[in-house]
Amino acid sequence: MQGIILSYRRGRHTQNVNQVLIELENVNSREKAKEFLHRKLIWKSPAGKKIKGEVINLHGNKGVVRARFERNLPGQAITTKVEVV
């Protein structure tokens, strides 16, 4: 299964680059998103490197989840795909 990286977790004046928001395929409710808590993620860079992460919490009521990666993702990761393992 795949998801799309939407953005860093952010507020009005701050941006938390160690957490990203991910929209998962065919998940559009909070109940469906709960099934993916603590699942592992892999993001592949254009250079071929893999960065591993984990779903840590839910974000809102429309199935978006928050994830934390081993290393902070670069800005070029926004709007790219991530694989759910």
Q: Domains of the chain: which residue ranges?
A: 2-84
Contact 36, 84 (CB under 8 A): yes
pLDDT band with cut points at 50, 70 and 90 for residue 80: very high
Q: Which CATH number fits domain 2-84: 3.30.70.1380, 2.40.10.190, 2.40.160.40, 2.70.240.10?
A: 2.40.10.190
Question: What per-residue confidence (pLDDT) applies to 11?
Answer: 94
Beta-bridged to residue 20, according to DSSP, are 8, 67
First-to-last C-alpha distance (Å) of the chain? 7
Instruction: Provide CB contacts within 8 A for 60, sequence distance 6+.
Output: 30
Q: What confidence tens digit (pLDDT) does each residue in 10-48 have?
A: 999 999 999 999 999 999 999 999 999 999 999 999 999
pLDDT of residue 54: 98
Q: Structure tokens of 48?
A: 């071929």
Mean pLDDT of the residues in the chain: 96
Can you tell me which residue has the tokens 């998801």? 3
